[in-house]
């Protein structure tokens, strides 16, 4: 579990962790991201909070959900976008 900052909504903090995992390649395009149940277990959050994480990541276009199949990475950072310290 992560230590949550008290002044930032938990769903935003968890979404940021998943976003970083997508950006750093931990979760590859078309690979499954943690389900709502897995998010609740890993981060100790409520299921409604985990649903909010998925909604936010879908709204950003980072994941897509296939009913009955799960949620998957739809894209990563474009190759021309360098992370700080990459040059």
The verdict on residue 33 lying in a domain is: yes
Output the pLDDT for position 80: 43
Q: Smallest Cα–Cα separation from 22: which of 84, 81, 75, 85?
A: 75
The verdict on residue 3 lying in a domain is: no
Output the pLDDT for position 77: 53
The verdict on residue 19 lying in a domain is: yes
Domain, as residue range, for 65: 10-73
The verdict on residue 84 lying in a domain is: no
Q: What is the pTM of this model?
A: 0.83
Largest CA distance in the chain: 42
CB 39 within 8 A of CB 45: yes
Over residues 67-86, mean pLDDT: 68
**Residue 22, phi then psi, degrees to nearest 5:** -70, -45
The verdict on residue 67 lying in a domain is: yes
CATH number, domain of 64, equals: 1.10.10.10
Q: How do residues 34-46 score in pLDDT, each as one tens digit?
A: 999 999 999 999 9
Q: How do residues 4-52 score in pLDDT, each as one tens digit?
A: 999 999 999 999 999 999 999 999 999 999 999 999 999 999 999 999 9
**In the chain, how many domains are there?**
1
The verdict on residue 42 lying in a domain is: yes
């Amino acid at each position: 579990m992560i230590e949550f900052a008290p002044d930032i909504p938990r769903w935003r903090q968890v979404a940021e962790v998943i976003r970083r995992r997508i950006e750093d390649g931990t979760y590859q395009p078309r690979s499954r991201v943690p389900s709502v149940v897995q998010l609740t277990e890993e981060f100790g959050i409520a299921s409604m909070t985990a649903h909010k994480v998925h909604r936010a990541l879908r709204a950003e276009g980072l994941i897509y959900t296939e009913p009955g199949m799960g949620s998957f990475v739809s894209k990563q950072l474009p190759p021309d976008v360098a992370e700080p310290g990459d040059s």
